[in-house]
Amino acid sequence: MSRSTLPLLDSSLYPQVWQQQTFTSPQALLLSMLFATLSRDITIDASAFTKQLLADDVYQEWINTTVFGRYLHRNFTAFYQQTEDSFNTDMPALFRQELVRHTQYLPLGQILFFAGDMPKSVRQTKTLTTTVNPATAIINVQKLNINNSRLIINQITITGKQVLGFAIRHNKRTSERLRNEVLILDFQNLRLVNEQAIEDIKKSNIGDSILLRSYEIR
């Protein structure tokens, strides 16, 4: 089955302006948002970046070629993780196989984000829900802090030509539109390449530091 490769979203989105500063990459924007959050008690809003995404032709191409909505995503996640229904043991694999038929290759160099510890099952299932919205990643890690979880944001760079996935098409009338998620459904290898502690705790209300982990996926 022939597949197309999605165009590089980051090259279309950046440079990006936030707080009267211009950022040339998603990494730089994420770091600035993190420092601002930790040092100045400001509220990160995902909606501004979402508006930029929805106005971008490349992102519109990403979401308009997908068959995967948030409702289907929730059900797929629950179904794929079930372990007690022995009658339907083959269904998660069949469901996944059908979804993979509709995936496309993610573009080389694309940056994606994911909040929290990387699930141990990811390298086995080859399934991971990420976001292209750095503000969403920060909001998600703030929510994890409510449960006193370790504060981790993962930055994932696509470095292989065989990474399969697609953008999740969200309902524009719900708060889920701010998630800007991308589901990865298949890859060969996920490798941790760097860890960086982001610390500025003078006025921080979300913990002592956030650990930024950088991964390459191929």
Q: What is the pLDDT of residue 81?
A: 56
Give residue 132's Cα distance to chain centre: 5
Question: Is 2 contained in some domain?
Answer: no
Whether 178 maps to a domain, the answer reads yes
Q: Give the total number of structural domains in the chain.
A: 1
Task: Tell me, yes or no, whether 151 lies in a domain.
Answer: yes
Instruction: Give the residue numbers spanning the domain of 52.
Output: 9-217
- 139 falls within a domain: yes
Domain contains 3: no
Each residue's pLDDT expressed in tens, for the chain with a length of 218 residues: 578 999 999 999 999 999 899 999 999 999 999 888 877 667 889 999 999 999 999 999 998 876 664 545 555 555 555 555 554 555 567 667 777 777 899 999 999 999 999 988 899 889 899 999 999 999 998 888 766 667 899 999 999 999 999 898 876 666 667 889 999 999 999 999 999 988 754 444 445 578 999 999 99
Instruction: Give the domain CATH number at 71.
Output: 3.90.176
Tell me, yes or no, whether 1 lies in a domain.
no
Return the DSSP state at 202.
Answer: S
- Distance (Å, whole) CA 6 – CA 64: 11
Backbone conformation region of residue 204, classed left if phi is above 0, alpha if psi is from -120 to 50, else beta = beta
Instruction: Please report whether residue 4 resides in a domain.
Output: no
Amino acid (one-letter) located at 90: D
